[in-house]
């Protein structure tokens, strides 16, 4: 199966870049646990297609 190329829902651009935020996300009830945040960004209009933490397992103790 061929991987489908992502497209910006705002402008239709198919050139999507990756970046990381200059911060980390911490679970609400944790002092030292944190994870880097990565984003997929349209290189034409700057729309953020999605954001993810690299270590989601660190958020298990902060379930709501």
pTM summary value? 0.72
Residue appearing with tokens 């290189």: 43
In what helix (H) or strand (E) does residue 24 lie, and over which residues does it extend?
strand 16-25
Q: What is the pLDDT of residues 1-36, one digit of tens each?
A: 556 789 999 999 999 999 998 777 777 777 677 888
> Residue 2's pLDDT is what?
57
pLDDT digits (tens, 9 = 90+) for 32-52: 778 888 999 999 999 999 999
Using CA atoms, how far residue 18 sits from 12, 34, 40, 49, in Å, is 17, 20, 5, 10
Query: What residue segments make up the domains of the chain, in order of their start?
Result: 7-24+32-56
- Cα atoms in the 13 Å half-sphere on the side-chain side of 5: 8
- pLDDT, residue 26, reads 79
Q: Give the model's confidence band at 58: pLDDT under 50 very low, under 70 low, under 90 confident, else very high.
A: confident
């Amino acid at each position: 199966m061929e991987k489908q190329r992502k497209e910006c829902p705002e402008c239709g651009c198919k050139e999507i870049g990756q970046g990381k935020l200059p911060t980390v996300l911490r679970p609400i009830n944790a002092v030292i646990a944190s994870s880097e945040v990565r984003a997929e960004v349209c290189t034409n209009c700057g729309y953020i297609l999605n954001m993810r933490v690299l270590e989601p397992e660190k958020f298990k103790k902060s379930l709501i």
